Amino acid sequence: MTTVAPSIRREYGSLTHPAAASICAAVTRCCRAACGSTVKALVLTGSMARNEASFVPQGTGWKALGDAEFLLVVPRPTSRAFQLNLHRDIDRALISAKIHCDVTISSSTIRGLEQMKPRIFSYELRTMGRVVWGDPGILSRIPNFSATEIERADAWEMLSNRMIEYLETVAETSKGADHSQFEQYRAIKLVLDAATSFLVFTGDYVPSYRGRSERISALAKLPPPEGTPLELREFARIVAECTSLKLVPSAGVRWLNETTREMTVDYARRLWLWELALLTQSSANMGRQAILRSFAKLQPRPQRFIAWLRVLRRRRFDDWKSWPLWLHQSMIGSPRLLIYGAAAELFFAERNDAFPPKLCSDWLRRLLPLHVSQKCASAWEQLARDVSYNYRELLVS
């Protein structure tokens, strides 16, 4: 029987929610069973590592409203088949523990840690990550950069990701208590990471929801940064409310009201455009697509080539008929940027907007690398699901 070293057990024994410790224990067992002695370390990161995860009761167990993020440090990169099998084993272990939680496991080599760039993920991993198995000093391999060195483009990408995830819930036609709760949670995450993104751009980023809420409130008492597209006092109020709901989630008694949710979407739209304009040194009046094209021109060609090469490796010969399309799209931008462009058109549109069928097909042909055939109630829902499919297949999984 495998035992856990006492010094490592304390790393997740100090987690304040019992479900979080149970998740760490289950993931540790599954990773060690799958990798054996080759595991250099298993690290918990994200909100769960900061004791800021959201759990609600579900039957006799628990449901995590977000996910649990882990980094597996191994001698060589893992295959997609390995990751699928590992996730299957973890899902089974969590079901046995009566815990419903999506688990995300990325992998890295030690060399990969040493080459990490100044981004939100790597900064939070180094400063807030918890080694739940293996070398307790592994995180010191990550370069020691400051919060003010985090790349602004990374913050804009984070906001774009939250916008897509919010679109996913809005596009679902099935309703019910669970879906309503999940949609509310995604709205809260949209606000909180809009705050994260904003603070990176102003040079005030801190790695916790509590700290970010306090920082936004402090900024709201000062003259706003030049060109800020937000009313900071109102934004600070919404961020504080969402922080409270994130850290002490309700089982459905108290959530954001409709007016506040509409304001969160509006603030996300303003920030997304403002940040993109700053990244390209453009005027927000140019329009979304024009600024995106300017951003695409700033992408180094080798970086764009590597991104498309990953698509070819992942899809292999499954989509060989799409190769001519991908070649054309590669001249426009990276897969990530194309998906963000399609998502922005939806996010800036109203839910009931009637998209002409031809326009809908043109967007799919020009912007989305992968096409799926789905019958939806509206062109908006069709596009939202296609964007979600591309996001999950190419940017997340």
pLDDT band at 29 (very low <50, low <70, confident <90, very high): very high
Does residue 251 or residue 122 have the better pLDDT? 122
Residues 372, 179, 170, 209: is their CA dihedral positive or negative? negative
- Range 15-25 average pLDDT: 90
> Which position has the higher pLDDT, 40 or 173?
40
Report which of residues 269 and 374 the model is more confident about: 269
Lowest mean pLDDT among 165-169, 265-269, 371-375: 371-375
Higher pLDDT, 319 or 347: 347
- Confidence at 6, pLDDT banded by 50, 70, 90: very low
CATH architecture of 151-297: Up-down Bundle (1.20)
pLDDT confidence band for 317 (50 / 70 / 90): low
**Average pLDDT score over the chain:** 86
CA atoms of 152 and 146, how far apart (whole Å): 13
CATH topology of domain 6-145: Beta Polymerase; domain 2 (3.30.460)
Spatial distance between the Cα atoms of 56 and 58, rounded to a whole number of angstroms: 6
What value does the mean pLDDT take over residues 287-306?
88
Q: pLDDT by residue (tens digit) across 342-376?
A: 899 889 886 666 665 666 666 666 788 987 766 66
pLDDT at 332 over 60: yes
pLDDT at residue 27, rounded to an integer: 96
125 pLDDT above the threshold of 90: yes
> How many angstroms separate the CA atoms of 360 and 383, rounded?
7
pLDDT digits (tens, 9 = 90+) for 213-235: 999 999 999 988 778 999 999 99
Section 290-312 average pLDDT: 89
Q: Which of 116, 107, 129, 172 is nearest to 24 (CA)?
A: 129
Q: Which of 115-124, 126-135, 282-291 has the lowest mean pLDDT?
A: 282-291
- Whether residue 8 is predicted with pLDDT greater than 50 in this model: the reply is no
Average pLDDT over residues 150-173: 91
Determine what percent of the chain falls in helix, strand and coil, rounding each to the nearest 5: 65, 10, 30
pLDDT at 321 > cutoff 90: no
Q: Is the predicted pLDDT of residue 293 greater than 50, yes or no?
A: yes
Task: Provide the residue ranges of all domains of the chain, joining segments of one domain with +.
Answer: 6-145, 151-297, 300-397
pLDDT band at 179 (very low <50, low <70, confident <90, very high): low
Cβ-proximal residues to 86 (8 Å cutoff; 6+ apart), any chain: 30, 31, 34, 78, 105
Please check the confidence at residue 251 and state whether its pLDDT lies above 60.
no
Quickly list DSSP for 195-226: HHHHHHHHT---SSHHHHHHHHHHHTTSPPPT
Residue written as token pair 């979600």: 388
